[in-house]
């Protein structure tokens, strides 16, 4: 047996052993189904890949996809795990494309997750500088969730001249830099994202349209005050009298009613029970709940914090 043939045989055996070793380290079901949250650090995954980085990256990408697909209600509750998985995937194989935007779509449970998704998007931009969609998602996250108009405009501006970028981005950048985010900006951005990833943005689009109709009712309410010298006691008052302000109310999108919110007196949908605010990643109620969750995670597990 020649030395050359023996070398090839040893190499083939080492390759087979490496593949088997990698598969032995891989659990057979997604970690979310096993009740586990362990994901190796990118550095550990790189060493453990034994040179088969693309293979290991594909495995962890499959785990991320399975987590979203196997979650019945809200995959965003697994955002920290998804973030770690995508971090591993894009560290082992940074030339991948879709995982960066996948993180942006599903990592929206908290400000921390959104900022981590933005960090991953910035990595994607460094490896795919001509991909306008990464910059678009970065701008959207920065505007819609973090409320930073200036940085959002910078992100959008970076995409304007890239191949495939929508022509309206230049106008959006101008509006953001001139006066900050408004309802039309939010609507346009949500519609563009909805074309590519429908489900996560359908609810937000509903909220924006509901707010548009509520503002129409606000204008009718102001006219009612002008005519009658008093405020409405119920939204239905806009339809009352010999010369009503409105002949009919705009439909509530979910078939519910328009009511006066008892604490603020604002006209709201009884479905949402609050008004939409542009340029924030959450409502006041959501912000309070999120802060409570963050405080709970900081408390020592054995007792109350000092």
Of residues 134 and 55, more confidently modeled: 134
Please, which residues have CB within 8 angstroms of residue 183's CB and are 6 or more apart in sequence? 208, 211, 212, 215, 278
CATH homologous superfamily for 26-200? Answer: Tetratricopeptide repeat domain (1.25.40.10)
pLDDT of 155 higher than 50: yes
Alpha-carbon span 264 to 247, nearest angstrom: 26
Task: Output the average pLDDT for the chain.
Answer: 76
Of residues 64 and 235, more confidently modeled: 235
Q: Which residues face 267 on adjacent strands?
A: 260
- Give the start-to-end residue ranges of the domains of the chain: 26-200, 205-298
Three-state DSSP at 162 gives coil
The lowest-confidence range among 20-24, 244-248, 260-264 is 20-24
The per-residue pLDDT for range 281-303, each reduced to its tens digit, is: 444 445 455 456 656 665 665 54
pTM of the model: 0.54
The lowest-confidence range among 9-23, 80-94, 253-267 is 9-23
| Residue range 112-127: mean pLDDT, rounded | 95
Of residues 253 and 225, more confidently modeled: 225
Alpha-carbon span 76 to 206, nearest angstrom: 19
| Residue range 13-34: mean pLDDT, rounded | 46
Q: How confident is the model at residue 146 (pLDDT cuts 50, 70, 90)?
A: confident
């Amino acid at each position: 047996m020649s030395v050359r043939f023996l070398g090839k045989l040893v190499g083939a055996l080492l390759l087979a052993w490496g593949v088997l070793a990698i598969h032995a380290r891989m659990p057979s079901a997604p970690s979310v189904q096993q009740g586990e949250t362990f994901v190796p650090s990118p550095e550990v995954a790189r060493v453990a890949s034994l040179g088969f980085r693309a293979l290991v990256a594909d495995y962890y990408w499959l785990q991320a996809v399975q987590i979203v697909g196997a979650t019945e209600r809200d995959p965003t509750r697994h955002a920290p795990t998804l973030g770690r998985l995508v971090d591993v995937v894009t560290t082992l194989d940074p030339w991948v494309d879709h995982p960066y935007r996948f993180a942006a779509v599903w990592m929206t449970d908290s400000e921390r997750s959104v900022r981590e998704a933005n960090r991953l998007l910035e990595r994607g931009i460094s490896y795919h500088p001509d991909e306008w969609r990464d910059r678009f998602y970065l701008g959207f996250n920065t505007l819609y969730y973090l409320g930073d108009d200036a940085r959002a405009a910078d992100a959008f501006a970076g995409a304007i001249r890239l191949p495939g970028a929508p022509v309206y981005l230049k106008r959006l950048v101008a509006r953001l830099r001139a006066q900050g985010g408004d309802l039309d900006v939010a609507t346009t951005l949500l519609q563009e994202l909805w074309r590519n990833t429908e489900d996560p943005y359908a609810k937000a689009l509903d909220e924006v349209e509901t707010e548009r109709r509520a503002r129409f009712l606000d204008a009718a309410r102001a006219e009612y005050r002008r005519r009658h010298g008093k405020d409405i006691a119920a939204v239905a008052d806009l339809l009352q009298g010999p010369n009503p302000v409105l002949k009919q109310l705009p439909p509530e999108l979910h078939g519910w009613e328009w009511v006066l919110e008892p604490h603020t007196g604002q006209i709201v949908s009884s479905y949402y029970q609050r008004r939409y605010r542009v340029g924030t990643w959450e409502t006041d109620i959501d912000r309070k709940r999120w802060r409570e969750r963050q405080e709970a995670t900081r408390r020592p597990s054995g007792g109350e914090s000092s």
